[in-house]
Amino acid sequence: MDRHHSRSHPTRRRALVGLALGAILAVTVAVAAPAGAAGDPLCPLAPLPAGVPWTGAYATQQHRVREAEGKARAGMRRQKAEAARDKSVAKAMADYDVHYYRLAIDLNTATRILSGTTTIAATVTGSSLTQMTLDFGSQCAVLGARVSGAATTFNWSLGVLTVDLDRTYATGEPVSVEVDYAGNPTSDYFGWSTYGGQLLVWTLSEPYGARVWWPCKDVCTDKADSVDVDVTLPSTMTAVSNGTLASVTVPVTGRKTFHWRERYPIAPYLVSVTAHPFVVVNGTYNTLAGGTMPVTNYVVPSELIGATAGFASTPAMIAAFANVFGEYPFVNEKYGHAQFPWGGGMEHQTCTSIYIGAYDEGIVSHELGHQWFGDLITCADFHHIWLNEGFATWLEAIWKEQHYGFAAYKTEMAGARYMGAGTIFVEDPNNFSEIFNFSLSYQKASWVPHMLRHVLGDPTFFAGLQAYRAQYGYGSATTEQFRAVMEVASGRDLSAFFQQWIYGQYTPRYDYAWKSEPTGAGWRVRVRITQSQVNTGLFTMPLDVMVTTAAGPQTFVVENSQATQWYSFDVAAAPTAVTLDPDDWVLCTKRFQNASEVPTVASSVQLIGAAPNPFNPRTMVRFSLPRAAGVRLDLFDASGRLVRVLADGAYEPGDHAVPWDGQDRQGRDAASGTYYARLRADGDIATVPLTLVR
């Protein structure tokens, strides 16, 4: 959910595929119902400050915040129930594979009762199946169930619906179940709101809300191959859902049924229904193959003028992303927006639900970007939500790069910096504030593809993303699966990169200084780079070092992984400045030191190492001081977490040995693995690895 012309890099081109941004927006207007007066209060989940329009700088800074806060708040009420979910339920669901859902929904707007029948067609994947276990909450009541058209018994308790099958089904056999239900599913996932004095019905099911308003197997790893959504409601309203509108029928006077057909695989949380007396603003996207695809926007009548202009850039955005990441994933259907009264946006497949009046390029490109990263490829579970939100936030910057230039890309990424604590990997997916952590899942996570782009270089990086699409498109993926694809594409071991940026905390701080001296053919520049962060371990990253001379700048790429490293560069003319990471490819803090602060290459303080190493369970960490100094010796695990403080105080000159008994700060035995002892003394920092083998 709710975030260029290319330029030449000094050492390699960073130009993406040339874009055909001439997608034509052919706007027509079709009135779906009489316009109502604007001004009703909007959804209370995330209201805008009074008098603040959703445009310009405010929107650019705030739309992700509002979305993250709203989604987190939407899930908090289900947190305890999800935490208590029995593993046996997941196991029971693993015994069948869903390939089709049909949702037949009747919306009684007078009583605000939803009546529905959901059909689930599946194939048995376990050794046998006697019951179909489904997710279904308590807001609606189960009225009955059928197997292959015949009534059957069921059990419904604590959000789990178990339907008894008519016989034992063997591996590979198809099975079909229907569930009738009714009730008022009003919640943070389903709303009977009003706008302009008229009803506006909406759904938003991420992460675990589909089960609130229809029974399903509510997981990301089992996408239905197709879904039919049939919505019956008053004839003054228009119902919008995924895919294409097959037909509109009239079951009785005064009511209509909208028949929507989604024929691409879809996760349950991406199925949506929005209904209102909408006005339709039509546009056209010119596909890569030379065809056309409708871009259909369903807007409240009072927003007709604003939406016509506000969504006008959508076809160009689709073209930009298609040229970089491959054709729009659902090109045989549509893309568009349905306005709803919920702060932010939600990337419902083929039809984003978007806040009324939200036309900023940031939110529009963010939700569109999800169609590739989130809808086409969905995080396998919400441990890995960064694969959705981090990428979509980064795509906001990609749009800026393609449409406005590389400087705009850099500005957008600078606005997404986060240097604080916490892992991008969601350690507790039952904690909704952790899933939709604005700083981690959106901001910091967007720097992961940004930095990986620099690590691998544009040709390899974007080829890797194409391979990622080819392997996991229309399915789901984990962080490790994404990593594996990028490793194959690049031929590189990316374990350190993913360990430090996805599973580790904090960011590096680089202190750098330089000296130069003439040589027979020019000048030699010596640069010292020190990692001086104190709250985490060392980082392994390529760093750009730009040396400016009278003849112009020259950029070198160095590999940096130690506490202190020296580099030498030869240039033709006298250097006037050295800049570290000039294009901000690394999420870090940089501090320049004067030449007078640069010590000799040989450090006066020495971290000698550990002996024995490997060890079990005790070793001695040895260091040498030329003079009395304050010493801090910390021990970090491979993810950068502080495990133990081994020394903190004043030490006399000479050799010293500090023991580690293999225990952490709480006195618990540390697990086998690699650890890093970091010494800080007399302004110097040094690190050595230790291997504990139990």
pLDDT tens-digit profile of 65-81? 656 655 555 554 444 44
Q: What is the CATH number of the domain that holds 582?
A: 2.60.40.1840
* Section 640-653 average pLDDT: 89
Backbone φ and ψ for 453, nearest 5 degrees, come out as -60, -45
Q: Which amino acid appears at position 74 of this protein?
A: A
- pLDDT for the residue 520: 85
Instruction: Read off the pTM.
Output: 0.81
User: Is residue 365 in some structural domain?
Assistant: no
Could you tell me if 558 and 611 lie in one domain?
A: no
User: Is residue 553 in some structural domain?
Assistant: yes
- pLDDT for the residue 58: 41
- Classify 268 as helix, strand or coil: helix
β-bridge pairing 575-580 and 589-592: unpaired
Residue 309 CA from chain centroid, whole number: 28
Could you tell me if 585 and 610 lie in one domain?
A: no
Could you tell me if 678 and 654 lie in one domain?
A: yes
Q: What is the CATH number of the domain that holds 631?
A: 2.60.40.4070
Instruction: Convert the pLDDT of each residue in 600-618 to its tens digit.
Output: 444 467 787 788 888 888 8
Q: Could you tell me the residue range of the domain that residue 656 belongs to? A: 606-692
**Is the pLDDT confidence value at 25 over 70?**
no
Could you tell me if 593 and 514 lie in one domain?
A: yes
Could you tell me if 523 and 558 lie in one domain?
A: yes
- Classify 694 as helix, strand or coil: coil
Could you tell me if 573 and 626 lie in one domain?
A: no
Could you tell me if 620 and 682 lie in one domain?
A: yes
Instruction: Convert the pLDDT of each residue in 136-152 to its tens digit.
Output: 999 999 999 999 999 99
User: Is residue 1 in some structural domain?
Assistant: no
User: Is residue 443 in some structural domain?
Assistant: no
Last residue of a domain, one of 562, 597, 632: 597
Least confident window among 414-423, 458-467, 661-670 = 661-670
Contact 460, 452 (CB under 8 A): no
DSSP lists the bridge partners of residue 75 as none
Give percent of the chain above pLDDT 70: 86
User: Is residue 247 in some structural domain?
Assistant: no
User: Is residue 655 in some structural domain?
Assistant: yes
Tokens of 629: 């100094």
Please give the mean pLDDT across all residues of the chain. 88
User: Is residue 343 in some structural domain?
Assistant: no
Could you tell me if 571 and 545 lie in one domain?
A: yes
Could you tell me if 557 and 593 lie in one domain?
A: yes
Could you tell me if 670 and 620 lie in one domain?
A: yes
- pLDDT for the residue 33: 36
User: Is residue 524 in some structural domain?
Assistant: yes
Last residue of a domain, one of 529, 562, 597: 597
Last residue of a domain, one of 568, 597, 626: 597
How many domains does the chain fold into?
Answer: 2
Q: Can you tell me the distance from the alpha carbon of 340 to that of 31, in angstroms, rounded to the nearest whole number?
A: 17
Q: Could you tell me if residue 487 is left (phi over 0), alpha (psi between -120 and 50 degrees) or otherwise beta? A: alpha
* Residue 433, burial from CB neighbour count under 10 angstroms (0-12, 13-18, 19+): middle
Instruction: Convert the pLDDT of each residue in 507-535 to its tens digit.
Output: 999 999 999 999 988 999 999 999 999 88
